[in-house]
Structure 1
């Protein structure tokens, strides 16, 4: 095991890493030290106490479902004000940040390495707000739990930018939050500092970092969930259940119209690193709540060869081919792209499937993240 010291650990041990000021801490339940001490507690003990807390999607305590924040005004443990950033950008976000009276924003949230996970885009919007307001922004970096050696999936088309993707990075991007911050700040120009995760290498398995797995959100319970999410998260844009309302979200995929041909057909494809178990489940909420659906559970047996995006494209193609009259996309709101287009980063996937085509060639072969950051190459080797 090669122990990794995260940005919050380094700052708690050496408060001189950032300049003094009135700090606003952007965090959630993942913002902890290895002994599970909350970051806010560690910073107060170190003499760099946050004055205000800012929360992302799912809230400061991680209780809210997808698409919601919490409405807490005060943190009962510290008495600090809690400001909900979710759903705010531009002037509304500027007003919220300015009302806090902070001069430094500090970001400490664990990301899961998938473009359509919202925390890094909350970070992006707050970096932009900091630039407009003349504030400093500090990222306390953490390992990417999917590693940093591979990127998979297409780049985001800027025409489809939104809360689930603000920058042209692949679906599985292979970057840390700090690296993404440096990337997006090229066009923003904020006073940005990244306190790196000392000792992390791009090929370090998460289990070898010495960091605890804390659920980043209510439907991301395990590392295995995060591993499949860059692919099966795309099912959120369809009428298939992505397993919300079960104990295995994103590992269970199903619909009332699927049958045993789905698992058999997927296993016949011999996709790398994964097998599929024919199963039935009853979601307790969300799509098909209270209804028995049939589908598959993904069983990843080789993380090194498993390709989550390629796997999901094969699953979507087979489901659409077996049940063309039943398979459907979530309707688009007036003037808005289909949600799957937001997730994929363009409308190419939807159009290919609707034409009856195989979408797997829309996914470039996995490659090492090739990004050059301000001042040099990627932060980690």
Structure 2
């Protein structure tokens, strides 16, 4: 029988309380900041007489995880704990010096999903930088990468396209835990913080989240299952277009479509490509919010049949390749109103080369092959930061 995985927060509570005892603590967390038996870390810390938790910091979607994507969150006093909750997805995306002035140590406990677009990792990076500037120790309570720690996919972000959905020379699927990323950020980009990662016990790199015996808690409102998380590295790219990524349906990022798509035609063409580990079926839906709100849409649902074989980035790019080919009059790139970059898709991709390649009719498989060398370089670079 496999040994039970102990999360970083559980190792802290059992073996490392001396790190935080009698210190004023700031904690970056959200609804995923739980132990393996779903006890809330905030509640546990507040119940200890020798622990002084003085402030909370919340990422995108808010401290309670109840805010939709991209919506700015204000700072407030939490009624349940009477603690200030400083928003790191509002007027500022970094802790201010005023918010940090009474803190002696910062903790970070948030479940990431292992994908470059997911903004929690940039909240962590910004907080590491801010803590480094004022000499605050920073402690990451490590958690599994739900997609495992072996596979790495996607291109590397180009520096000119750094944003809050892509930065730090990461590929789309990086195969690192949040603690490994913290070490990579701090050392590779010279953030200068006194960093400590509280490692998990008994987690292995080849484990997917449902092989850990840990209970899945949605890390954001639209990533409600592990199946969604596996598909997300590919279908999040749809956010940069006028295609619905399924927000406002029961299967966001799994069901993709638009009012001008023929679901039967699209599923037939995608299945003919024989993409590894995935099948497509036609679907019909009317989103309750976001793109095509209350309009009848057709499209496809992704069904993964083999997680080991499935390549979400290749599948997502093939989806776009086929839609552009079948529906050139309906398809559009999502434009940005105020940015040095014209298209949101380019920020998601960390380059404009992918969009330009698709426009010219370049095949998705050729686009993927074009970044093999840079991906190999990243794999070599990340080796020194792997903790498991």
Distance 2:17 2:270 in 1: 54
Match of 1:362, SS state, is helix
- Residue 378 of structure 1 pairs with residue 386 of structure 2: yes
Distance 2:98 2:364 in 1: 42
**Which residue of structure 2 aligns with residue 344 of structure 1?**
349
Q: Would the aligned equivalents of 2:76 and 2:86 in 1 still touch at CA under 8 Å?
A: yes
Bigger shift: residues 38-47 or 230-239: 38-47
Distance 1:81 1:193 in 2: 24
Query: Against the structure 1 CA distance between its residues 247 and 49, is the aligned structure 2 distance closer, same or farther, given a 3 Å change threshold?
Result: farther
The alpha-carbon deviation at position 275 of structure 1 amounts to: 0.3
Distance 2:381 2:25 in 1: 29
**Which residue of structure 2 aligns with residue 154 of structure 1?**
155
Query: Against the structure 1 CA distance between its residues 135 and 371, is the aligned structure 2 distance closer, same or farther, given a 3 Å change threshold?
Result: farther
Q: Would the aligned equivalents of 1:237 and 1:340 in 2 still touch at CA under 8 Å?
A: yes
Query: Against the structure 1 CA distance between its residues 354 and 373, is the aligned structure 2 distance closer, same or farther, given a 3 Å change threshold?
Result: closer
The alpha-carbon deviation at position 70 of structure 1 amounts to: 3.6
**Which residue of structure 1 aligns with residue 244 of structure 2?**
241
The alpha-carbon deviation at position 371 of structure 1 amounts to: 4.9
Distance 1:96 1:295 in 2: 49
Distance 1:121 1:17 in 2: 28
Match of 2:196, SS state, is strand
Q: Would the aligned equivalents of 1:58 and 1:217 in 2 still touch at CA under 8 Å?
A: yes
Deviations 1:7-61 (A, max 9, x none): 1111122243525421100000000011111011222345434211100000011
Bigger shift: residues 307-316 or 353-362: 353-362
Q: How does 1:1-381 map to 2 (within 5 A)?
A: 1-16=2-17, 18-20=19-21, 21-46=23-48, 47-71=50-74, 73-87=76-90, 93-99=95-101, 101-186=102-187, 187-259=190-262, 260-337=264-341, 338-363=343-368, 364=371, 370-372=379-381, 376-380=384-388
Match of 1:370, SS state, is helix
Query: Against the structure 1 CA distance between its residues 301 and 367, is the aligned structure 2 distance closer, same or farther, given a 3 Å change threshold?
Result: farther
Distance 2:162 2:96 in 1: 20
Q: Would the aligned equivalents of 1:115 and 1:172 in 2 still touch at CA under 8 Å?
A: yes
The alpha-carbon deviation at position 229 of structure 1 amounts to: 0.3
Q: Would the aligned equivalents of 2:166 and 2:349 in 1 still touch at CA under 8 Å?
A: no
- What are the ranges of 5 or more consecutive residues in structure 2 without an aligned counterpart? none
Query: Against the structure 1 CA distance between its residues 50 and 2, is the aligned structure 2 distance closer, same or farther, given a 3 Å change threshold?
Result: same
Q: How many residues align?
A: 377
The alpha-carbon deviation at position 87 of structure 1 amounts to: 4.0
Query: Against the structure 1 CA distance between its residues 17 and 317, is the aligned structure 2 distance closer, same or farther, given a 3 Å change threshold?
Result: farther
Distance 1:196 1:265 in 2: 45
Match of 1:241, SS state, is coil
Distance 1:278 1:368 in 2: 39
Q: Would the aligned equivalents of 2:184 and 2:385 in 1 still touch at CA under 8 Å?
A: no
Q: Would the aligned equivalents of 1:127 and 1:137 in 2 still touch at CA under 8 Å?
A: yes
Distance 1:294 1:62 in 2: 30
Query: Against the structure 1 CA distance between its residues 249 and 53, is the aligned structure 2 distance closer, same or farther, given a 3 Å change threshold?
Result: same
The alpha-carbon deviation at position 349 of structure 1 amounts to: 1.1
TM value normalised by structure 2: 0.92
Match of 2:321, SS state, is helix
- What are the ranges of 5 or more consecutive residues in structure 1 without an aligned counterpart? none
The alpha-carbon deviation at position 368 of structure 1 amounts to: 11
Q: Would the aligned equivalents of 1:72 and 1:82 in 2 still touch at CA under 8 Å?
A: yes
The alpha-carbon deviation at position 324 of structure 1 amounts to: 1.1
Q: Would the aligned equivalents of 1:310 and 1:360 in 2 still touch at CA under 8 Å?
A: yes
TM value normalised by structure 1: 0.94
The alpha-carbon deviation at position 72 of structure 1 amounts to: 5.5
Q: Would the aligned equivalents of 1:175 and 1:369 in 2 still touch at CA under 8 Å?
A: no
The alpha-carbon deviation at position 197 of structure 1 amounts to: 1.4
Match of 1:93, SS state, is coil
The alpha-carbon deviation at position 361 of structure 1 amounts to: 2.0
RMSD between aligned alpha carbons?
1.9
Match of 1:296, SS state, is strand
